[in-house]
Amino acid sequence: MAVITGSGDLRAGEAKVSVKLRQRSAFAVQHMMAAARFSRMCGEIEIANKEQPLGEFFDRQIGAVSATVMLATASLESNINEYLCEPERVFPNLLEESPHTLVQLLEQKSILEKYQSVLSFRGVAEYAAGEPPYQDVDALIKLRNALVHFKPEWHDEQELHRKIEGRLKGRFEINPAIGENGVFFPQQCMSYGCTQWAVNVALEFMRDFSERSGLPYRFEKFAARIQPEVE
């Protein structure tokens, strides 16, 4: 997605007025479309290998799940950063340079802290941390972090991985090829169900944030391309 702010030359008689062409790319939608593609890929792998013994297809599923989770989270972060690129629009009640100063202060905040801060400065109640949809997105971000900063643990002596299981178990269907024989993280959760959950949770949160804040929801016209389910 790109924003174009001007183009071409304007001529009036002997006068010539130059207009600068500017373009700005946005990636929240691109990340989400990619996340949905990986989700569908994961579903196709899982469906094609239904009732088959565990094999190399599971490696491909791990890749698809990891990509979906990371890209869905990247979409969440890009989305709030794209709002903050227009500080005067997001914070219309602040005077002069205050919107830009606020954006600079928010730069080092976490993804969810940025969303909460925008709501607060727009005079809207912040999300309750222990309730949906905040709780769901928080779980998604923690899963992304666990994958990016993966720390191996013995399956019979889990500590960090057990905490991840506590946040995620029951939110989606586990991988049928693993079934109940493996640990939840990082085996059972490498599933098509996880990818669907990741995409839907991110989209639902961003839609809800848009409604609460009064800021535009940018994903509506891409509905067919951000569908995580296999047709």
Give the pLDDT confidence of 127-176 residue by residue, as tens digits: 999 999 999 999 999 999 999 999 999 999 999 999 999 999 999 999 99
Q: How far, CA to CA in Å, does 93 sit from each of 60, 106, 113, 126?
A: 49, 17, 20, 18
In the numeric block, the tokens 């227009």 are attached to 86
Distance separating the N- and C-terminal Cα atoms of the chain: 26
One-letter identity of residue 73 = T
Residue spans per domain, the chain = 27-217
Per-residue pLDDT, averaged over 77-91, amounts to 92
Please tell me what DSSP assigns to residue 180. G
Cβ atoms 29, 220 nearer than 8 A: no
Residues 6+ apart with CB under 8 A from 89: none
Rounded Cα gap, residues 31 and 65, in angstroms: 14
pLDDT at position 71 is 98
pLDDT at position 103 is 86
pLDDT at position 95 is 72
Lowest mean pLDDT among 22-31, 52-61, 111-120: 22-31
Rounded Cα gap, residues 168 and 189, in angstroms: 8
pLDDT at position 96 is 65
Helix (H) or strand (E) run with residue 196 in it: helix 192-213
- Model confidence pLDDT, tens digit, residues 168-204: 999 999 999 998 889 999 999 999 999 999 999 999 9
- Model confidence pLDDT, tens digit, residues 208-224: 999 999 999 999 999 99
- Model confidence pLDDT, tens digit, residues 33-68: 999 999 999 999 999 999 899 999 999 999 999 999
Helix (H) or strand (E) run with residue 25 in it: strand 23-25
Rounded Cα gap, residues 115 and 79, in angstroms: 10
Residue 6, pLDDT > 60, answer no
% of the chain exceeding 90 in pLDDT:
76
Rounded Cα gap, residues 192 and 155, in angstroms: 22
Cβ atoms 222, 229 nearer than 8 A: no
Cβ atoms 113, 105 nearer than 8 A: no
In the numeric block, the tokens 């890009």 are attached to 78
Cβ atoms 4, 19 nearer than 8 A: no
Per-residue pLDDT, averaged over 120-124, amounts to 92
Rounded Cα gap, residues 102 and 114, in angstroms: 11
Cβ atoms 157, 183 nearer than 8 A: no
Q: How far, CA to CA in Å, does 175 sit from each of 166, 192, 193?
A: 17, 7, 8
Residue 12, pLDDT > 70, answer no
Rounded Cα gap, residues 100 and 84, in angstroms: 9
Residue 14, pLDDT > 70, answer no
In the numeric block, the tokens 């400065």 are attached to 121
Read off the pLDDT band of 231 (50, 70, 90): confident
